[in-house]
Amino acid sequence: MTDTLNAPDRHAGRKSLNIPRGWRLPILLLILWQVSSEFSLIDRRFLPPLQDIVAAGWKELTEGDLLVHIAASLGRDIAGFVMGSIAGVAFGTLLGISKIADRFIGPTFHGLKQIAVLAWIPIISVWFGFAESAKIAFVTLAAFLPVALNTIEGMQSISPQIIEVGRSLCFTRRQIFLRARLPSALPSIMTGIHLALIYSWLATVGAEYFMAVGPGLGGLIISGREHFEMDVVMLGVLLLGLIGYSLNKIAETVEARLLRWRDG
């Protein structure tokens, strides 16, 4: 009888120790990392233990400019993301609703999109130099492409029958756009914006790495590499991953709420 009463408690304790599936592999990798460093399975100079990275983080936070580096990277990311997203929605809407624009501009745009984003760095460097504007321009370009492509797809995917119904009800072009095209394209646009947030963060890192002037997490990693401070390098890498993961979760939450509001 006692065992029967205590059984639920044992199961409850077992459930409380369950680790979400998405966290299992990262935790396992961290454990392997720590064990490999502690038992010298890998040279600590190349893969420092986690406590050294935490110590380096605390030193950079209290004695260095870690917050300045994070703020600089986030500032570039947000500025480029916002400008690229706005430009992408406007450009994608133009090509999505105008057959003339799609006919004259579309082929050139779809040809240019095949060029890898990193290939634009030399051109942007010539046009803007290595100043802050060059980095923001590169991030803007990276955010612009997915938003523009998904906006075009969303605007062109609306059923022609819906447009005909709107015209039969004597809707103006503005009303057709606001009541038919935009709601229909919204999921695709949100997907593009979500991708733009991811790509803009990757582009921020690339811009700071290849145009290393001024503060930023990319500059922190380069500084650690040049001084062979692998704890600083790994600190920068981990911060890039954590911030990127956080931005992705924020985008997922905002996207889900916006689409829930539309469906409601």
What's the pLDDT score for residue 85? 95
In a domain, 72, yes or no: yes
Q: Is residue 83 part of a domain?
A: yes
pLDDT grade, residue 23 (50/70/90)? Answer: confident
Domain coverage including residue 238: 63-263
* Predicted local confidence at residue 72, as pLDDT: 92
Q: Within a domain: residue 38?
A: no
Residue 13 maps to a domain:
no
Q: Which of 45-49, 94-98, 176-180 has the lowest mean pLDDT?
A: 176-180
Is the predicted pLDDT of residue 74 greater than 90, yes or no?
yes
Length, in residues, of the chain: 264
CATH number of the domain encompassing residue 76: 1.10.3720.10
**What is the mean predicted confidence (pLDDT) over 151-176?**
78
pLDDT at 1: 46
For the chain, what is the domain count? 1
Q: Which residue has the tokens 């290595």?
A: 130
pTM to 2 decimal places = 0.81
If you average pLDDT over each of 26-40, 95-109, 249-263, which comes out highest? 95-109
Evaluate the CA torsion angle 239, 70, 230, 204 in order and state its sign: positive
Q: Is residue 170 part of a domain?
A: yes
Report yes or no on 192 lying in a domain. Answer: yes
Q: What is the DSSP letter of 119?
A: G
Asked whether residue 44 is domain-assigned, the answer is: no
- Domain assignment of residue 147, yes or no: yes
**Cα 19 from Cα 10, distance rounded (Å):** 17
